[in-house]
Structure 1
Amino acid sequence: MKHSPLPFFAGQHRQERLGARTVFSPLPVMTNVPPVRRADWLTQKHPHYIELGGAGGSLFQTQILYSVWVLGLLIFAGMFWGPPGNGMSNGQGWAGVWTGLYEEVWIGANQWAMEFSWENLLGTILLLGTMPGLALFLTVKILREHQQQLRRVLPFRFHRQRREVMLSRWDKRTKRTEVRIFPWEEMCAMVGEGSAVSVSGVMTMASLFFGINSDERPGQFWSGMNVGTLSKEVGAGEWEMIRRYMEEGPEAIDEPAPVTFDGMIEEFCREQKIPRSAFS
């Protein structure tokens, strides 16, 4: 029995109240949108194939995590130090925290003594350890899940010579990575845009999706990739980059963006025409 294809076709457009969707493929057609020369998730470029996904975009994700960590550290430091008379340490840093572990105890007529308080120590540990510990847990959890995803799913490979696309997915039941090859003409691609309205303003988000129809579950995608874009036009330009490569060749796109900090330094030195040793 031959399953019906997905209900999408190139040129299809759907406009909703707070969003819109435009389909570029199957049967990829020219979008008349200027293509981008490269994208963060373009990881490999060769004369006969390109690879998308994998470690692509990891540098930006690492920068985001680093920025969030630094911001959280600054906020915590401000709460920890605080001005004199305020903050957890009364403006005295660790000395103020240590002083706060002692409390005055009445021992007789007009006689007071400073005694160590285990309750204050427990409260200090909870105050100083909960937020940094939670931030560390979330950061490690995100990095671990990202590393697991990189090991489980291979980059999507677009082979222009064979006009085929290799996709993969992680099978939770068998605990194995499945790999399949599909014709280029069957690749489904679309860009969507949605808006969220609130009393403070309107926020618009867009994304580019491309995937393959599932033979086992008609009407659903066997595997796909969803990447965030600045707008529908940018998403269309990123898809046009893939289509231009498949139809015109490797000269239609630039080399992949670096995925490491050392790669960024090498690219900067190459563009500025300076030796690597000249970079501070």
Structure 2
Amino acid sequence: MFDSKYDRLPKAGDSETKSGVDFIYLSPKPLPTGAPPFSSRDLHRESNDVYLDFAVGRGNFEFMARAGIGSVVFIALFFLFTSGFGAWLRRDIQPFLTTWVEIFTNTYVQGFIWTLFIVYIFIFFLAVRRVSIHPPIRFNRHRREVAFVPQKGDSPCYVAWESVITCVSSGQLITQYAVLPEHKLMIGLRDTNTGNVLWSTISTGSFNLAVSEWEAIRTYMEEGPSMLPAQNTDDPEEGSVAFFHLCRRSYRAENSLLRYISGFLVIQFLSGWTVPCHISRWVNTRPKAGFPRDVLEWSKPLQLNQQIKPSEDLLHETAEIRKFFSKGKTLLDYFRSKSLIPEKQSSTRGTEEERRTD
């Protein structure tokens, strides 16, 4: 992704545009972003003083299940009403109900619907399997390294924390209804042996949420688990049945009865009501792939004198950017100021050379 613009690996402050999508890199090095540490999906559930596990949240599977069920039901209803309309046109020739049943239960119609259903089930279980065979990404703050296992049975790869590639992408998602903004947090772990980069992508609601998601990981690695955002047990988790009914009550309170029925009840009923929530719960309670023995040994705590310290470059630039924040500037302002330094220096040198020539 970064080969087209730079003849080197990216670093914090780099930016590029590819296929209409803007990318801004937040690391390496993992500098403070100025955003509050926050995870909208509690993606870092497993954490202690030594390591943090970063994995996909429940909300992803609930949406996937709901979209699949809704698509199959929509196609089935389309054929149901189309066959009913065809039977109504032939009502003077054949009995209406008999013709309707015959058209809808036609081998080709039912074959198309069930094929679509089987394809959806296959795609869904393929996604579930991919999650179950991929252990989460583990961030080790004692060693200042990140471990990832491409899939179950593969040898683990270890990446230095300050070499993790992180960027936020901002683009547009085109659907049949509208053009919507799309923001993603992308974490890249580069295998130094092969040069391949494993990307973990997390969709977020806004650019700020993507940055906050990364800031939660960064503050954990630099400052410890006490800096992680506290999980509010009173708030239901996205993708759960409780969260679904919370959204339903909120929608009812903010809209008229007619819009509540047409805009929520009908759509959610046709997409499975709370069934996707139960499917998501089943996915999240399935046994996940464990880490190999090497990673478990690597995850053991180290003595204080054995723990890896931040590099001098990171400490220096972190102090510099915090001073910048104290002046009311933002992270993007800091990156812009850094990128303008070479231009000012080059222009100054050019002026001096012109004076010497004169």
Shorter-chain TM-score bucket reads 0.5 to 0.7
Q: Which amino acid letter does the alignment assign opposite residue 254 of structure 1?
A: A
C-alpha deviation, 1:161, in angstroms = 3.8
C-alpha deviation, 1:33, in angstroms = 2.5
Residue by residue over 1:56-98, the C-alpha shift from the partner in whole angstroms, topping out at 9 and shown as x without a partner, is: 432332232233333333333322433862499x8945x3346
Tell me the residue number matched to 1:255.
Answer: 231
In structure 2, what is the Cα distance between the partners aligned to 1:51 and 1:259? 19
- How do residues 94-109 of structure 1 correspond to structure 2 at under 5 angstroms? 95-97=98-100
C-alpha deviation, 1:195, in angstroms = 4.1
Structure 1 residues 66 and 40 mapped into 2: Cα distance closer, same or farther (>3 Å)?
farther
Tell me the residue number matched to 1:157.
Answer: 138
In structure 1, what is the Cα distance between the partners aligned to 2:55 and 2:172? 26
- How do residues 204-215 of structure 1 correspond to structure 2 at under 5 angstroms? 204-215=181-192
Identity of matched residues, %: 19
C-alpha deviation, 1:211, in angstroms = 1.7
Structure 1 residues 7 and 126 mapped into 2: Cα distance closer, same or farther (>3 Å)?
same
Contact residue 81 and residue 91 of structure 1 kept, 8 A: no
- Give the counterpart of 2:124 among 143, 149, 167: 143
Contact residue 45 and residue 250 of structure 1 kept, 8 A: no
Please say if 1:232 is aligned against 2:213: no
Contact residue 44 and residue 55 of structure 2 kept, 8 A: yes
Tell me the residue number matched to 1:45.
Answer: 46
In structure 2, what is the Cα distance between the partners aligned to 1:87 and 1:165? 67
Contact residue 159 and residue 191 of structure 2 kept, 8 A: no
C-alpha deviation, 1:42, in angstroms = 0.6
Structure 1 residues 179 and 258 mapped into 2: Cα distance closer, same or farther (>3 Å)?
farther
C-alpha deviation, 1:188, in angstroms = 1.1
Q: Which amino acid letter does the alignment assign opposite residue 210 of structure 1?
A: I
Residue by residue over 1:88-109, the C-alpha shift from the partner in whole angstroms, topping out at 9 and shown as x without a partner, is: 9x8945x334677xxxxxxxxx
Tell me the residue number matched to 2:107.
Answer: 125
- How do residues 7-18 of structure 1 correspond to structure 2 at under 5 angstroms? 7-15=9-17, 18=20
Tell me the residue number matched to 1:273.
Answer: none
- Give the counterpart of 2:61 among 58, 62, 73: 58
Following TM superposition, the consecutive aligned residue runs of length 4 or more in structure 1 with deviations greater than 6 angstroms are none
C-alpha deviation, 1:152, in angstroms = 2.3
Q: Which amino acid letter does the alignment assign opposite residue 212 of structure 2?
A: G
Long gaps (5+) in structure 2? 1-6, 248-358
Q: Mean alpha-carbon deviation: is it higher for 139-148 or for 241-250?
A: 241-250
Contact residue 9 and residue 23 of structure 1 kept, 8 A: yes
Q: CA RMSD in A?
A: 3.9
In structure 2, what is the Cα distance between the partners aligned to 1:53 and 1:158? 11
In structure 2, what is the Cα distance between the partners aligned to 1:260 and 1:196? 22
- Give the counterpart of 2:34 among 28, 32, 44: 32
C-alpha deviation, 1:9, in angstroms = 0.9
Q: Secondary structure at the match of 2:222?
A: helix
Structure 1 residues 79 and 148 mapped into 2: Cα distance closer, same or farther (>3 Å)?
same
Residue by residue over 1:129-167, the C-alpha shift from the partner in whole angstroms, topping out at 9 and shown as x without a partner, is: 133112212211112211220232111122334433221
Structure 1 residues 6 and 73 mapped into 2: Cα distance closer, same or farther (>3 Å)?
farther
Contact residue 44 and residue 52 of structure 1 kept, 8 A: yes
For these two proteins, the number of residue pairs brought into alignment is 232
Q: Which has the higher strand share?
A: 1
Q: Which amino acid letter does the alignment assign opposite residue 212 of structure 1?
A: L
